[in-house]
Amino acid sequence: MVICLAGMTTFSGCDREEINREFYLYSNVEDFYKTAPVINKYLNTLPINMSVEQQLKDLTDWLNLQPCIINATLKGVWTDKDCITFCQPGRYGNIAIMLDDNGLTRELTLNIFGEYSKSLHATDYSFAKPKEVRAFYKSDSTTLSDVFDFINL
């Protein structure tokens, strides 16, 4: 029994840790595109008979396990038949990601595509720039001037 547990730990732990380190290395807005091979490697481990929606749900769950991901949410799954304009034949998906980028929260959208006869893969991502800044302070110990002085630093 001890041999079995050691074997299981070595097999599942090494692969997952390697993927996490590689994903974590590029988990910032400027380098996030470099996570595509890691994401695609994960997608290729999923059973081919699994539905596209289930594959994307599994990917979303996997992303939520990564230490730099604050939250990942599956936003949409569709095919070219659902497009109003012409789309390349295949299956599409979007995952909204809240990313901890060195202490700053960034919002990304990961785009997934797969031809009908091929597996899904990460194609690109978009980055939403924040439209507002909110500041909260305790009025009994901090003034509004103090807040703006801090922001201006």
The answer to whether residues 98 and 66 touch, using CB atoms and an 8 Å cutoff, is no
pLDDT band at 115 (very low <50, low <70, confident <90, very high): very high
Three-class secondary structure of residue 106 per DSSP: strand
Task: Give CA angle at 87 (83, 90), nearest 5°.
Answer: 95
Residue 119 has pLDDT above 80, yes or no: yes
Q: Nearest CA to 135 among 151, 122, 120?
A: 151
Residue 137 has pLDDT above 80, yes or no: no
pLDDT band at 133 (very low <50, low <70, confident <90, very high): low
Residue keyed to tokens 């597996």? 119
Residue 56's H or E segment, with its range, is helix 52-65
Ranges of each domain in the chain? 2-152
Percent of the chain with pLDDT over 90: 50
Question: Among 52-56, 62-66, 71-75, 149-153, which stretch is predicted with the lowest mean pLDDT?
Answer: 149-153
